């Protein structure tokens, strides 16, 4: 029965990775840009959720935690999306307009991530923040397997977000435009499609999901610190690449795969070996299948 | 005579620097800044071979530095200092002078073998996917060392000072400064010789078009192997020097942050320019020291500077030009091919 417990844990971890990986993959799919700041946007999301929740609970309205949660989620998602869009407007778009090489945008993203991390550290100090309890914890037990409501919410949220994004990208007009941009960025404006609007929309989607992941993560592990986004962000990025970056299914599969590998390693070996095994396995997958599980090799013309 | 003036100037300045350090005209702090500068020059020049000349995006340079640092540290600790696990010193102190460069070489060799982790997948993988492999390689190295209790694990590893002291007991001059300067000159020299050789021309050829290079009879796999191994080997050399400057290493001082730092230096200097990499390593080290009073804000200011650089001069300080391309008259003073 222990195995079911591990599977549940793996699903929960995988959900976080998947939610963040979705943001990486969306931006990459449209812009061919590795948005290295994404892990830190997730961190900012968690902090925004913290401040919103503390502000709501701190007011003398006697607001119940449940209502506070219902307000915190959309507010955090909107504000985090705003952070993502600000990055795109102030840093990525000017470079794109100049027709700069992709590499310079990647470096800018990397640096933007550093600014978010260290700016946070400098502004708020190194003391860790304790996230308030917004959800009354209830434990459901089936036989010998016990599951908290939060765990179920996390897993359901990841799957719901995946279905939503899959629907947007494959079934709607704006999703078609997104796929069009990734196919040919130069022909798309000629078809009367507003390039910048679509890109901003992509950033809104990706960063909003990072904000959602931030809230859920802060609720599951209620200690916030400025570098929390770095490691989980890099790992989610690796998950996105293993799944085949640019493909939404890839992000979700890669995220859950990483979750299962990590929990599997921890279940058998000492937990300090987790990163070593996880990264070695991912490296072997990439070596055998260089474009990731769902990725399609691009044919290059000479 | 004029042709050799650069070499002579270099040797003279090295002698002057050593003399100044020996007779106490420059204090310990300035010496350590100069030594860090040397280490940074080696790092940025060696990463420039992969990220600049070959056009790949390697973001795991810190990992190879870590391998080199640990390998050479274990060597010197094994040979010259008393350690609970590795036992009594194997060699008398008088041998330190000869064994130390050997230990550095071992560190570099082990690091270049570790470079295979990245080099072999690079045969099939390119671009963003290879970037992930380098990233994963960095994490793997650090995680592996974290789990090796015999060399301290996450607590770090120390005892390298015994070797430095042993060298000082033979002849009392600032040995580390000398080794760093020699290592730096060696690294820049070997990179310069490599990229300007007929064999090394294959590296920029891969950058421009891998398939075309293959058609033009460049053995791309072999070139990648050489480039990655040379680059990571030199990073290992830098790591070995770094470990012996500080006398203490910790796996987490070589994490993704260190790799980012090295990448910043490469792109600040300009891709595919050795003099750019050298110049930017010097500037970057100075910048870090100048901005020290800002404390944590330093790491907000530096990325901001780099973002501005990317906006207004994306090719870096030197672009892909060498100093001698910008000032052709300099060519009279040295005799490189």
Mutating which of A100, A102, A108 best tests the B interface, going by the most B Cβ atoms within 10 A?
A108
The token pair at B82 is 């008393």
The count of other CB atoms within 10 Å of the CB of residue B82 is 11
CA torsion through residues A279, A284, A285, A291, sign? positive
Query: CA B47 to CA B264: how far, in whole Å?
Result: 11
Helix or strand (DSSP H, E) at A239? helix A228-243
The residues near B121 (Cβ < 8 Å, ≥ 6 apart) are A283, A286, A287, A290, B130, B133
Q: What is the ipTM of this complex?
A: 0.82
Task: Report CB contact under 8 Å: A279, B132.
Answer: no
Alpha-carbon torsion, ordered B19, B20, B24, B28, to 10 deg:
-110
Is the Cβ of B92 closer than 8 Å to some Cβ of chain A?
A: no
Q: List strand residue ranges (DSSP E) for A117-264, in order.
A: 129-130, 139-142, 145-148, 223-224
Mean pLDDT by 10 residues, chain A (302 residues): 83 92 89 88 92 83 78 92 93 86 84 90 84 80 80 91 92 90 85 90 93 91 86 87 85 91 86 83 82 73 58
Return the pLDDT at A300. 61
**Nearest residue of B to residue A108 by CA position?**
B307
Return the pLDDT at A16. 92
Interface A–B counts its CB contacts (< 8 A) at 122
- What residues of chain B lie within 8 A of the CB of A101, using their CB? 314
B266 touches B57 (CB < 8 A): no
- Chain centroid offset of residue A20 CA: 1
Return the pLDDT at A299. 65
A138 touches A149 (CB < 8 A): yes
CATH code for position B147:
1.10.3470
Q: Domain count of chain B?
A: 1
Which of B138, B227, B65, B55 has its CA nearest to residue A238? B138
Task: Report CB contact under 8 Å: A279, B143.
Answer: yes
Which of B102, B50, B103, B118 has its CA nearest to residue B262? B50
How would you write the pLDDT of chain B (337 residues) with one tens digit per residue? 677 788 888 888 888 888 888 887 888 888 889 999 999 999 999 999 998 888 888 888 999 999 999 999 988 888 887 776 666 777 777 777 888 889 999 999 999 999 998 888 888 877 777 888 888 889 888 888 988 888 888 888 888 888 888 888 888 888 888 899 999 999 999 998 998 898 988 999 988 888 888 898 889 899 999 999 999 999 999 999 999 998 888 888 888 888 888 988 888 888 888 888 999 999 999 988 888 888 788 888 888 888 888 888 877 788 777 877 888 877 777 765 4
Is the Cβ of B133 closer than 8 Å to some Cβ of chain A?
A: yes
Query: CA A239 to CA A253: how far, in whole Å?
Result: 8
Q: What is the total residue count of chain A?
A: 302
Q: Which domain holds residue B186?
A: 2-333
What percent of chain A has pLDDT above 70? 97
Return the pLDDT at A230. 84
Query: CA A216 to CA A51: how far, in whole Å?
Result: 15
Q: Which of B139, B295, B310 lies nearest to residue A107, judging by beta carbons?
A: B310
Q: What is the total residue count of chain B?
A: 337
- What residues of chain A lie within 8 A of the CB of B256, using their CB? 230, 234
């Amino acid at each position: 029965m222990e195995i079911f417990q591990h599977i549940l844990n793996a699903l929960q971890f995988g959900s976080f990775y998947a939610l963040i990986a979705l943001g990486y993959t969306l931006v990459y799919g449209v812009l061919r840009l590795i948005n290295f700041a994404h892990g830190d946007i997730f961190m900012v999301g968690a902090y925004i959720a913290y401040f919103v929740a503390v502000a709501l609970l701190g007011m003398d309205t006697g607001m119940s935690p449940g209502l506070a949660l219902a307000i915190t989620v959309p507010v955090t998602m909107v504000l985090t999306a705003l952070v993502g869009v600000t990055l795109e407007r102030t840093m990525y778009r000017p470079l794109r307009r100049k027709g700069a090489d992709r590499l310079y945008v990647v470096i800018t993203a990397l640096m933007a991530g550093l600014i978010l991390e260290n700016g946070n550290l400098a502004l708020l100090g190194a003391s860790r923040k304790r996230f308030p309890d917004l959800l009354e914890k209830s434990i459901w037990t089936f036989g010998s397997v016990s599951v908290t409501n939060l765990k179920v919410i996390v897993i359901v949220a990841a799957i719901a977000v995946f279905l939503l994004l899959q629907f947007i990208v494959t079934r709607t007009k704006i999703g078609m435009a997104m796929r069009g941009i990734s196919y040919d960025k130069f022909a798309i404006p000629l078809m009367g499609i507003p390039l910048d609007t679509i890109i901003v929309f992509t950033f809104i989607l990706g960063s909003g999901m990072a904000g959602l992941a931030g809230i859920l993560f802060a609720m599951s592990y209620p200690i916030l610190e400025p570098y929390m986004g770095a490691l989980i962000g890099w790992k989610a990025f690796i998950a996105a690449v293993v799944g085949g970056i640019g493909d939404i299914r890839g992000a979700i599969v890669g995220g859950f795969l990483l979750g299962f590998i990590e929990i599997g390693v921890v279940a058998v070996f000492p937990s300090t070996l987790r990163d070593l095994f996880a990264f070695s396995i991912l490296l072997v997958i990439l070596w055998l299948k260089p474009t990731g599980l769902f990725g399609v090799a691009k044919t290059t013309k000479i | 005579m004029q042709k050799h003036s650069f070499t002579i100037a270099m040797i003279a300045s090295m002698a002057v620097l050593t003399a100044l350090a020996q007779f106490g005209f420059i204090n310990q702090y300035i010496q350590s800044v100069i030594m860090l500068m040397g280490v940074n020059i080696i790092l940025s020049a060696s990463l420039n071979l992969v990220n600049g000349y070959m056009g790949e995006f390697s973001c795991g340079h810190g990992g190879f530095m870590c391998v080199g640092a640990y390998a050479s540290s274990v060597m010197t600790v094994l040979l010259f200092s008393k350690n609970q696990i590795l036992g009594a010193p194997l060699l008398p102190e008088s041998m330190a002078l000869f064994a130390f460069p050997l230990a550095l070489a071992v560190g570099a060799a082990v690091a270049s073998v570790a470079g295979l982790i990245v080099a072999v997948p690079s045969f099939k993988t390119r671009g963003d996917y290879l970037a992930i492999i380098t990233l994963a390689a960095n994490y793997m190295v650090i995680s592996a060392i974290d789990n090796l209790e015999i060399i301290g694990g996450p607590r770090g590893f120390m005892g390298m000072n015994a070797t430095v002291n042993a060298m000082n007991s033979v002849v009392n001059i600032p040995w580390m400064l000398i080794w760093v300067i020699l290592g730096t000159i060696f690294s820049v020299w070997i990179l310069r010789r490599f990229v300007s050789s007929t064999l090394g021309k294959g590296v920029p050829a891969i950058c421009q078009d891998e398939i075309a290079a293959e058609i033009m009879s460049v053995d791309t796999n072999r070139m990648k192997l050489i480039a990655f191994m040379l680059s990571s080997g030199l990073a290992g050399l830098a790591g070995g020097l770094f470990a012996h400057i500080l006398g203490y290493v910790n796996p987490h001082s070589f994490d993704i942050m260190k790799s980012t730092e090295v990448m910043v230096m490469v792109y600040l200097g300009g891709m595919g320019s050795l003099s750019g990499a050298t110049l930017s390593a010097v500037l970057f080290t100075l910048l870090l020291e100048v901005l020290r009073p800002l404390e944590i804000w330093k790491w907000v200011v530096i990325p901001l500077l780099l973002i501005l650089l990317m906006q207004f001069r994306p090719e870096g300080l030197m672009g892909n030009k060498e100093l001698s391309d910008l000032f052709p008259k300099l060519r009279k003073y040295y005799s490189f091919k």
